[in-house]
Homo-oligomer: A and B are copies of this chain.
Amino acid sequence: MPMLDALAEAIGPRNCLTDEGDMAPYAVDWRGTSRAMPLAVLKPGRVEEVSAAMRIASEAGIPVVPAGGRTGLAGAAVARPGAPPSLVLSLERLNRIRDVDARDFSVVAEAGCVVQQVQQAAAAVDRFFPIAWGAQGTAQIGGMLGTNAGGIRTIRWGNARELVLGLEVVLADGRVLNDLRRVRKDNSGYALRHLFIGAEGTLGVITAAALRLVPPMRAVETAFLAVPSPEAALSLLGRMQGAGAELIAFELMNRLCLEMVARHGPHLRLPLPLESPWFVMVEMAAPHPAVPVRAMLETALEGALEAGECTDAVPAESEAQRLAFWRIREDFPEFSRMDGPAIATDTAVPVSAVPEFLGRIEAALAARWPEGRMYAIGHAGDGNIHVSLKAPPGIAQKDWAAIAGGADMVVNEIAVALGGSFSAEHGIGTSKLHVMQALKDPLALELMRRIKATLDPQGLMNPGKVIPSN
């Protein structure tokens, strides 16, 4: 096949996989639901090779699926089953930190850098890269930007988008848009970079990014709390926001979450008995040791206990205990997966609407699927709660999908009715196309289609993702 020969010549035959065994890992992502074998898996090592590969694919009219660490939850980074054959473009070999500058609080990282690698590069110059979530040891910068990842630090430093100073992008036709500046202010025309961030590879291939760093936190205090209700959690959030230090995490979870941790993670010690309906993990910090973070946390916890906003609280007494608290939160997705099938969602509502959101959802799900077990876990400090409806024990994924397949739309519709989003931080991929079709403003969809047609007139950039077909 002449296209494959041209690709092998452009990026080297070793970096152009066509053997099914070699390609198998690239045909599946973390969630494991999307499986399709590509024509080839391309592993270019430099932006010029990405450019050449895109030009060759474009001239041949073959779709390209950009892929990173494949930890995404929406199916964007794998080829679609049943679609025309495509190329998977893995950015993993573009994994250099091109520059890190402490005085500028910036890092320039290639798309294939693992998120943790960027965190470490920042730490090496006494700076902090704040994007963090469970998959950070595998997820790559390109995927983080393609999905505009959120995670546990959004409450303080925003989503991935907010940390981008500049991008290098290879367009559908292979041309390179170099806007990799480290400047904090630039109003020279339209903010093109924001089109590519969150577009899940449907408008171009992000090959490198200039990212903002922040001062490292010199004092960090973490506590695990038992909370009587989401209303109480909301009051607690307000109290913590006014406690004096920076609130850098505020995670809410219901009892079912911790029950699953207890069941599947017996090596993890739960900080509190499983007697409360809700739990909160809170983390406060300051960039200077002179800020009395521990005293601020303790004062806030005492006030919260007095006000009934929490019924019990355990501050971490050591860094080891603090990390143990985080293991509970970060390993949770794995425990949940071990606990059987679920209908999962990724909703966000205005922070003040979180209690009403949870109340309405709990009632609606219990009414239709009384056998289901609802869990809610998420970043309550920014309104992003992941609600899932777990199957009762012994039911297979396929059967539960048939029974409770409509549960996601119940949750999504309530989120949207409260002014929220049905896709907070995971993206659309293929798994939420039906929700885009049903709940997204048709005018917004029309504009997205027109922009897609403008930047990718042949429709070869990760087709069938993000935007539902007409």
A residues engaging B (CB < 8 A)?
A: 101, 103-106, 147-148, 150, 154, 158-159, 161-162, 171, 175-179, 181-192, 194-195, 197-199, 203, 215, 234, 238, 241-245, 286-288, 290-292, 296, 348-352, 379, 382-384, 419-428, 432, 435-436, 440-441, 443-445, 447-448, 450-451, 453-455, 466-467
Contacts and interface: CB of A to CB of B under 8 A. Distances in A.
Contact of A288 (B178, B243, B352, B424): B243
Contacts of A426: 187
28 contacts: A101-B352, A104-B352, A147-B187, A148-B187, A148-B191, A175-B443, A177-B441, A177-B447, A181-B421, A183-B348, A183-B421, A184-B348, A185-B382, A186-B424, A187-B198, A187-B421, A188-B432, A188-B435, A189-B444, A189-B466, A190-B203, A191-B197, A192-B448, A195-B195, A243-B288, A244-B290, A290-B296, A453-B454
Contacts of A106: 350
Given A244-B288, A447-B455, A454-B450, A421 B103 contact: no
Given A103-B238, A292-B290, A189 B382 contact: no
| Copies of this chain per assembly | 2
A93 B425 CA distance: 37
A284 to B, nearest CB: 11
B443 A104 contact: no
B419 A189 contact: no
Contacts of A185: 150, 154, 159, 348, 379, 382-384, 421, 424-425
B188 A451 contact: no
A459 to B, nearest CB: 15
A105 B432 CA distance: 29
Contacts of A432: 188
A379 B105 CA distance: 16
Please give me the 5 A-B residue pairs with the lowest Cβ-Cβ distance, nearest first: A244-B288, A194-B194, A186-B421, A185-B424, A184-B382
Contact of A419 (B103, B147, B183, B454): B183
A241 B190 CA distance: 31
A432 B187 CA distance: 11
Contacts of A184: 154, 348, 351, 382-384
Given A179-B444, A296-B288, A421 B188 contact: yes
Contact of A428 (B158, B177, B187, B443): B187
Contacts of A181: 350, 419-421
Nearest to A165: B350
Contacts of A177: 441, 443-444, 447
A183 B349 contact: yes
Given A189-B198, A453-B454, 12 more contacts: A148-B191, A182-B419, A183-B419, A183-B420, A183-B421, A185-B382, A185-B383, A187-B423, A189-B444, A190-B195, A244-B287, A244-B291
Contacts of A435: 188
A328 to B, nearest CB: 22
